[in-house]
Structure 1
Protein backbone atom coordinates (compact mmCIF):
# COMPACT_ATOMS: atom_id res chain seq x y z
CA UNK A 1 0.00 0.00 0.00
CA UNK A 2 1.06 3.56 -0.66
CA UNK A 3 -0.13 6.94 0.53
CA UNK A 4 -0.40 9.52 -2.22
CA UNK A 5 -0.23 13.09 -0.98
CA UNK A 6 -0.89 15.83 -3.51
CA UNK A 7 -0.74 19.58 -3.08
CA UNK A 8 -2.83 21.20 -5.79
CA UNK A 9 -4.41 24.49 -6.84
CA UNK A 10 -7.74 25.21 -5.08
CA UNK A 11 -9.52 25.67 -8.40
CA UNK A 12 -8.60 22.10 -9.43
CA UNK A 13 -10.08 20.43 -6.35
CA UNK A 14 -13.57 19.73 -7.71
CA UNK A 15 -12.34 18.21 -10.96
CA UNK A 16 -9.72 16.12 -9.14
CA UNK A 17 -12.42 14.75 -6.82
CA UNK A 18 -14.75 13.98 -9.74
CA UNK A 19 -12.12 12.12 -11.75
CA UNK A 20 -10.77 10.11 -8.81
CA UNK A 21 -14.31 9.12 -7.84
CA UNK A 22 -15.18 8.10 -11.41
CA UNK A 23 -12.12 5.83 -11.44
CA UNK A 24 -13.13 4.10 -8.21
CA UNK A 25 -11.20 6.18 -5.67
CA UNK A 26 -13.95 8.17 -3.93
CA UNK A 27 -12.35 8.14 -0.48
CA UNK A 28 -9.64 10.59 0.42
CA UNK A 29 -8.79 13.24 2.96
CA UNK A 30 -8.63 16.87 1.88
CA UNK A 31 -7.67 20.03 3.67
CA UNK A 32 -7.02 23.66 2.96
CA UNK A 33 -3.33 24.45 3.37
CA UNK A 34 -1.05 27.45 2.97
CA UNK A 35 2.44 27.30 1.59
CA UNK A 36 4.76 28.60 -1.03
CA UNK A 37 7.32 27.24 -3.39
CA UNK A 38 10.15 28.74 -5.37
CA UNK A 39 7.79 31.21 -7.02
CA UNK A 40 7.17 32.92 -3.64
CA UNK A 41 3.46 33.27 -4.26
CA UNK A 42 1.06 33.78 -7.11
CA UNK A 43 -1.47 36.59 -6.87
CA UNK A 44 -3.73 34.80 -9.34
CA UNK A 45 -4.22 31.93 -6.89
CA UNK A 46 -6.32 33.91 -4.45
CA UNK A 47 -10.00 34.67 -4.86
CA UNK A 48 -9.95 37.91 -2.92
CA UNK A 49 -8.57 41.36 -3.64
CA UNK A 50 -5.08 42.07 -2.45
CA UNK A 51 -3.67 45.41 -1.45
CA UNK A 52 -1.28 46.67 -4.16
CA UNK A 53 1.61 46.87 -1.69
CA UNK A 54 1.30 43.12 -1.08
CA UNK A 55 1.67 42.40 -4.77
CA UNK A 56 4.80 44.50 -5.10
CA UNK A 57 6.67 43.06 -2.11
CA UNK A 58 10.21 42.11 -2.96
CA UNK A 59 9.87 38.66 -1.42
CA UNK A 60 6.49 37.88 -3.00
CA UNK A 61 3.38 36.72 -1.18
CA UNK A 62 3.89 35.28 2.27
CA UNK A 63 1.79 32.15 1.58
CA UNK A 64 -0.33 30.74 -1.23
CA UNK A 65 -3.61 28.91 -0.57
CA UNK A 66 -3.53 25.32 -1.82
CA UNK A 67 -5.41 22.07 -1.25
CA UNK A 68 -3.81 18.95 0.13
CA UNK A 69 -5.33 15.59 -0.68
CA UNK A 70 -4.22 12.28 0.75
CA UNK A 71 -5.34 8.79 -0.19
CA UNK A 72 -4.06 5.29 0.46
CA UNK A 73 -4.16 2.91 -2.49
CA UNK A 74 -2.97 -0.57 -3.36
CA UNK A 75 0.49 -0.71 -4.93
CA UNK A 76 -0.93 -1.63 -8.33
CA UNK A 77 -3.09 1.53 -8.38
CA UNK A 78 -0.33 4.05 -7.65
CA UNK A 79 0.62 4.77 -11.27
CA UNK A 80 -2.99 5.31 -12.32
CA UNK A 81 -3.81 7.65 -9.44
CA UNK A 82 -0.61 9.68 -9.86
CA UNK A 83 -1.18 9.99 -13.61
CA UNK A 84 -4.77 11.12 -13.13
CA UNK A 85 -3.81 13.73 -10.55
CA UNK A 86 -1.08 15.02 -12.89
CA UNK A 87 -3.41 15.18 -15.91
CA UNK A 88 -6.12 17.07 -14.06
CA UNK A 89 -3.78 19.50 -12.31
CA UNK A 90 -1.04 20.22 -14.85
CA UNK A 91 -1.35 23.66 -16.42
CA UNK A 92 2.33 23.95 -17.33
CA UNK A 93 2.64 27.05 -15.16
CA UNK A 94 4.56 27.58 -11.94
CA UNK A 95 2.46 26.52 -8.96
CA UNK A 96 0.87 23.35 -10.35
CA UNK A 97 1.80 21.53 -7.14
CA UNK A 98 3.56 18.40 -5.97
CA UNK A 99 2.76 14.73 -5.50
CA UNK A 100 4.44 12.56 -2.89
CA UNK A 101 4.19 8.76 -2.77
CA UNK A 102 4.93 7.21 0.62
CA UNK A 103 4.97 3.59 1.79
CA UNK A 104 2.23 2.49 4.21
CA UNK A 105 3.08 -0.34 6.57
CA UNK A 106 -0.47 -1.16 7.58
CA UNK A 107 -4.01 0.19 7.61
CA UNK A 108 -6.69 -0.66 10.16
CA UNK A 109 -10.41 0.06 9.86
CA UNK A 110 -11.41 0.96 13.41
CA UNK A 111 -15.04 -0.18 13.14
CA UNK A 112 -14.33 -3.72 11.85
CA UNK A 113 -10.66 -4.20 12.76
CA UNK A 114 -9.92 -5.16 9.15
CA UNK A 115 -6.27 -4.74 8.25
CA UNK A 116 -4.20 -4.12 5.14
CA UNK A 117 -5.94 -4.10 1.76
CA UNK A 118 -9.27 -5.02 3.34
CA UNK A 119 -9.15 -1.85 5.42
CA UNK A 120 -8.77 0.45 2.41
CA UNK A 121 -11.09 -1.29 -0.06
Structure 2
Protein backbone atom coordinates (compact mmCIF):
# COMPACT_ATOMS: atom_id res chain seq x y z
CA UNK A 1 0.00 0.00 0.00
CA UNK A 2 1.05 3.55 -0.66
CA UNK A 3 -0.21 6.92 0.53
CA UNK A 4 -0.51 9.52 -2.21
CA UNK A 5 -0.45 13.11 -0.95
CA UNK A 6 -1.20 15.69 -3.63
CA UNK A 7 -1.24 19.47 -3.37
CA UNK A 8 -3.29 20.93 -6.20
CA UNK A 9 -4.93 24.19 -7.24
CA UNK A 10 -8.38 24.67 -5.68
CA UNK A 11 -9.76 25.42 -9.13
CA UNK A 12 -8.81 21.92 -10.29
CA UNK A 13 -10.84 20.06 -7.64
CA UNK A 14 -13.88 19.28 -9.82
CA UNK A 15 -11.76 17.90 -12.66
CA UNK A 16 -9.68 15.92 -10.17
CA UNK A 17 -12.77 14.43 -8.48
CA UNK A 18 -14.13 13.46 -11.89
CA UNK A 19 -10.99 11.60 -13.00
CA UNK A 20 -10.61 9.84 -9.63
CA UNK A 21 -14.24 8.74 -9.90
CA UNK A 22 -13.56 7.40 -13.42
CA UNK A 23 -10.66 5.38 -11.96
CA UNK A 24 -12.96 4.04 -9.22
CA UNK A 25 -10.85 5.59 -6.47
CA UNK A 26 -13.45 5.39 -3.76
CA UNK A 27 -11.63 6.89 -0.80
CA UNK A 28 -10.15 10.38 -0.96
CA UNK A 29 -9.68 12.98 1.74
CA UNK A 30 -9.56 16.60 0.55
CA UNK A 31 -8.46 19.36 2.90
CA UNK A 32 -8.20 23.10 2.17
CA UNK A 33 -4.65 24.15 3.03
CA UNK A 34 -2.36 27.16 2.76
CA UNK A 35 1.24 26.87 1.64
CA UNK A 36 3.93 27.96 -0.75
CA UNK A 37 6.55 26.40 -2.96
CA UNK A 38 9.88 27.49 -4.37
CA UNK A 39 8.36 30.65 -5.85
CA UNK A 40 7.53 31.81 -2.31
CA UNK A 41 3.85 32.27 -3.13
CA UNK A 42 4.45 34.92 -5.79
CA UNK A 43 2.58 34.47 -9.07
CA UNK A 44 4.74 36.03 -11.81
CA UNK A 45 1.84 36.14 -14.28
CA UNK A 46 -0.37 38.17 -11.95
CA UNK A 47 2.54 40.32 -10.80
CA UNK A 48 3.56 41.03 -14.40
CA UNK A 49 7.24 40.32 -13.73
CA UNK A 50 9.82 37.77 -14.75
CA UNK A 51 11.07 35.72 -11.81
CA UNK A 52 14.41 34.03 -12.27
CA UNK A 53 15.26 31.02 -10.12
CA UNK A 54 18.46 32.80 -8.98
CA UNK A 55 16.49 35.77 -7.64
CA UNK A 56 14.22 33.50 -5.63
CA UNK A 57 17.13 31.48 -4.20
CA UNK A 58 18.98 34.65 -3.18
CA UNK A 59 15.88 35.97 -1.44
CA UNK A 60 15.65 39.07 -3.63
CA UNK A 61 11.97 38.53 -4.38
CA UNK A 62 9.31 38.41 -1.72
CA UNK A 63 5.65 37.69 -2.18
CA UNK A 64 2.55 36.38 -0.54
CA UNK A 65 3.46 34.05 2.30
CA UNK A 66 0.84 31.38 1.61
CA UNK A 67 -1.34 30.32 -1.32
CA UNK A 68 -4.64 28.44 -0.95
CA UNK A 69 -4.47 24.85 -2.26
CA UNK A 70 -6.21 21.53 -1.73
CA UNK A 71 -4.39 18.62 -0.15
CA UNK A 72 -5.63 15.23 -1.28
CA UNK A 73 -4.80 12.08 0.65
CA UNK A 74 -5.36 8.74 -1.05
CA UNK A 75 -4.25 5.32 0.19
CA UNK A 76 -4.08 2.86 -2.70
CA UNK A 77 -2.91 -0.63 -3.56
CA UNK A 78 0.64 -0.69 -4.93
CA UNK A 79 -0.52 -1.68 -8.42
CA UNK A 80 -2.91 1.32 -8.63
CA UNK A 81 -0.45 4.04 -7.60
CA UNK A 82 1.10 4.83 -11.00
CA UNK A 83 -2.31 5.04 -12.66
CA UNK A 84 -3.60 7.43 -9.98
CA UNK A 85 -0.47 9.61 -10.03
CA UNK A 86 -0.50 9.81 -13.84
CA UNK A 87 -4.17 10.84 -13.77
CA UNK A 88 -3.50 13.51 -11.13
CA UNK A 89 -0.68 14.94 -13.22
CA UNK A 90 -2.74 14.85 -16.41
CA UNK A 91 -5.69 16.77 -14.97
CA UNK A 92 -3.69 19.26 -12.85
CA UNK A 93 -0.80 20.22 -15.14
CA UNK A 94 -1.14 23.70 -16.61
CA UNK A 95 2.56 24.31 -17.22
CA UNK A 96 2.58 27.34 -14.93
CA UNK A 97 4.16 27.86 -11.53
CA UNK A 98 1.91 26.55 -8.76
CA UNK A 99 0.57 23.39 -10.42
CA UNK A 100 1.35 21.53 -7.20
CA UNK A 101 3.26 18.51 -5.97
CA UNK A 102 2.59 14.82 -5.42
CA UNK A 103 4.26 12.69 -2.77
CA UNK A 104 4.05 8.89 -2.62
CA UNK A 105 4.83 7.34 0.75
CA UNK A 106 4.87 3.73 1.93
CA UNK A 107 1.99 2.65 4.17
CA UNK A 108 2.58 -0.35 6.41
CA UNK A 109 -1.01 -1.20 7.18
CA UNK A 110 -4.61 -0.03 7.21
CA UNK A 111 -7.50 -1.14 9.39
CA UNK A 112 -11.23 -0.65 8.94
CA UNK A 113 -12.42 0.13 12.45
CA UNK A 114 -15.92 -1.30 12.04
CA UNK A 115 -14.88 -4.78 10.85
CA UNK A 116 -11.21 -4.88 11.88
CA UNK A 117 -10.25 -5.85 8.31
CA UNK A 118 -6.65 -4.94 7.64
CA UNK A 119 -4.23 -4.53 4.74
CA UNK A 120 -5.58 -4.11 1.19
CA UNK A 121 -8.94 -5.51 2.32
CA UNK A 122 -9.44 -2.46 4.52
CA UNK A 123 -9.14 -0.14 1.55
* Residue 10 of structure 1 pairs with residue 10 of structure 2: yes
User: Normalised by the size of structure 2, how large is the TM-score?
Assistant: 0.83
C-alpha distance in structure 2 between counterparts of 1:82 and 1:103, whole Å: 14
Q: Report the more deviating stretch, 77-86 or 32-41.
A: 32-41
Q: Which residue of 2 aligns with 1:117?
A: 120
Partner secondary structure for residue 80 of structure 1: helix
User: Normalised by the size of structure 1, how large is the TM-score?
Assistant: 0.84
C-alpha distance in structure 2 between counterparts of 1:42 and 1:77, whole Å: 35
Deviation at residue 60 of structure 1 after TM alignment: 0.4
Partner secondary structure for residue 102 of structure 1: strand
Deviation at residue 39 of structure 1 after TM alignment: 1.3
Q: Which residue of 2 aligns with 1:48?
A: none
Give every structure 1 segment of 4 or more consecutive aligned residues whose post-TM-superposition deviation is greater than 3 Å: none
Deviation at residue 22 of structure 1 after TM alignment: 1.3
C-alpha distance in structure 1 between counterparts of 2:5 and 2:65, whole Å: 23
Equivalent pairs counted in the alignment come to 107
> CA offsets, 1:13-41, max 9 Å, x none?
11101110111103111100000011122
RMSD (Å), alpha carbons:
1.3
User: Mind listing any 5+ residue stretches in structure 2 that lack a counterpart?
Assistant: 45-60
